[in-house]
Structure formats: C-alpha cells, structure tokens
Amino acid sequence: MKMVAEMAQIKVFSTTYCPYCTLAKDWLKKHNLKFVEANVENDEAAAKEMIRKSGQRGVPVIEIDGKIVVGFDKVQLAKILGVKE
C-alpha cells in the first residue's frame, strides 16, 4: 500500500498562520509523502480553487488524487493513502 501513497498526487491548501496546516504538512512529511502546498492567504486563484473543490473557506483542505479531506483528519488521510498512523 505504501507504493500507492508514494504515487498519490497530494495538494495542501493552507495559510502561514494555521497550526492545523502545519500539523498536516508535518504528518505528510513524517510519512515521506510529497505534496504541493497552495497558500490561499497569498494566492487568490488557489483560494478560489479550494472553495470550488471543497465548498470550504477554512484550512487545511487536503486533496489526494481528487479526494478532498477537510481539516487535519489523520484517520481519513491514513485510510485514503493506505499508510499506518
């Protein structure tokens, strides 16, 4: 399953001041998963994309191969990515 996680396309919509965003990014790093960060604080297009995809204005919003996880939900992230928490 780890191979699936390593191949996943992961995008983290976040802000610089969000502690849960930091926790989510640290969790992904801990599992050696590469991700693209979209700072919605500074990037209006990324903010609009996040709202369009998730219906949410709060961060973090994590997109994994088109699946949306709102907030830092370790259980859901581990389930989608097939990693052990």
Cβ within 8 Å of residue 71, ≥6 positions away:
20, 58, 60
pLDDT at 66 (0 to 100): 93
- pLDDT at position 1, please? 45
User: Looking at the whole model, is its pTM more than 0.95?
Assistant: no
Let me know: does 6 contact 47? Beta carbons within 8 Å: no
Topology (CATH) of 2-81: Glutaredoxin (3.40.30)
Return the closest-CA partner of residue 62 out of 84, 40, 77. Answer: 77
The number of beta carbons lying within 10 Å of the beta carbon of residue 21 is 24
Q: What string of pLDDT tens digits covers the 85 residues of the chain? A: 455 566 789 999 999 999 999 999 999 999 999 999 999 999 999 999 999 999 999 999 999 999 999 999 999 999 999 888 7
Domain ranges of the chain: 2-81
Residue 5 confidence (pLDDT): 66
